[in-house]
Amino acid sequence: MRADRLISILLLLQNHEKMTTKALAEELEVTERTIHRDMEALSSAGIPVLAERGKHGGWRLVDQYRTKLTGLKDNELKTLFLSPSFQLLSDLGFTKDWKEARQKLLASLPNSLQTQADDMWNRVHIDTDTWRQSSQELSALSTLQQAIWKERTIKMGYEKANKETSERIVEPLGLVAKGRTWYLIAASNGELRNFRVSRIKSPEMTDEVFARPQDFKLAEYWNQSKQTFVQNLPVFEVEVEVSPAIIPRLTFTGRFAQVLHTGAPNDEDGSIPVQLSFDTKEEAAAFVLGFGDKIKIKQPVSLIDTVTKMAESALSLYK
């Protein structure tokens, strides 16, 4: 509804001080022409909105105007009281602060809404931890957080996948949790890089202050970085025929193999043609061998030779 959108624009301008027509249109999923019409409506209603032109222009509220709109819809209220990841809060050292903030927010609500908000915690719980306790070393998080907020460079050692450690000085911009794995997003030698926090050794916050890029958006950068990473992953595709009995297990083991296509059962023996994707030939060979005589490789032929040699080596070991 238009009234909801006008209120959203007003709150966005209060929280961001200034936003371009394009940014508002993308945030509210409407056209830029619609935003211009909405701004005319706000101005006609007596809301002091001002358009500034130029490279750094945009829409803003005049004289730090603040609305007293405080009403919350049911779904908005539920999002505020949705249980966060206690594991990630604990990693950041925010568990106690979150609980205190939650109680203050709950106390500020009318009595008629307190029960509804409190009940939200008993209906949805978010657990980002793995079934087994994570053994990642996260002692660097505290120092990284301080440097991010103070915009100070960090001197640190970084352990590569081959266990070699190199010394680096980086400009920390933000932290991202992917599942339970933390990443530091930082500028290094003029380029944005992702550093796994568990591999950061002995970080030290320096006295050097850096200028944080004004156009840097952490969520946007991470989503683009993630897409680029996935697109560049190696791919090794395999065509097999499998026993119907293991079809559920193929789907369950998606961490190791991706099921691209499943065909109709063969009339002769009931086997099912399946197309699988792996990162490497070695992973494909180990995966297929683990199912014994329940999987038969059709393509590529080179994988048949690899699996045969692995099976012969295993037989030789146990003779």
Query: Do residues 231 and 274 touch, judged by C-beta distance below 8 A?
Result: no
Residue scoring higher pLDDT (114 or 203) = 203
The alpha carbon of 34 is separated from its chain's Cα centroid by a whole number of angstroms, namely: 31
Average pLDDT, the chain: 86
Q: Which residues pair with 175 in a beta bridge?
A: 184
**Can you point out the beta strands (E) in 179-235?**
181-188, 191-196, 200-209
User: Quick check: 224 pLDDT over 90?
Assistant: yes
What class has domain 141-231?
Answer: mainly beta
pLDDT > 60? residue 254: no
Classify residue 300 as exposed, middle or buried by CB count within 10 Å of its CB (0-12, 13-18, 19+): middle
% of residues, the chain, pLDDT over 90: 41
pTM of the model: 0.67
pLDDT per residue over 207-220, tens digit each? 999 999 988 999 99
> Is 105 in contact with 156 (CB distance < 8 Å)?
no
Please tell me the distance from the alpha carbon of residue 83 to that of residue 122, in angstroms, as a whole number: 9
Instruction: Give the architecture (CATH level 2) of 236-318.
Output: 2-Layer Sandwich (3.30)
Whether the pLDDT of residue 206 is over 90: the answer is: yes
Q: Using only C-alpha atoms, what is the Rg of the chain?
A: 27
Domain 2-64 is of which CATH architecture? Orthogonal Bundle (1.10)
- What count of other Cβ atoms lies within 10 Å of the Cβ of residue 151? 14
Give the distance, in angstroms, between the CA of residue 250 and the centroid of all CA atoms in the same chain. 26
Say how many CA atoms lie within 13 Å of 130 toward its Cβ.
9
Confidence of residue 119 (pLDDT cuts 50, 70, 90): confident
Write out 129-158 in H/E/C secondary structure: CCCCCCCCCCCCHHHHHHHHHHCEEEEEEE
Taking only the tens place, the pLDDT of each residue in 79-98 is 777 778 888 888 898 888 88
**pLDDT above 70: percentage of residues in the chain:** 92
Domain range summary for the chain, segments of one domain joined by +: 2-64, 74-120, 141-231, 236-318
CA nearest to 257, candidates 288, 221, 233, 217: 288
Q: What is the pLDDT of residue 135?
A: 63
Terminal alpha carbon distance of the chain: 75
pLDDT band of 160, cuts 50, 70, 90: confident
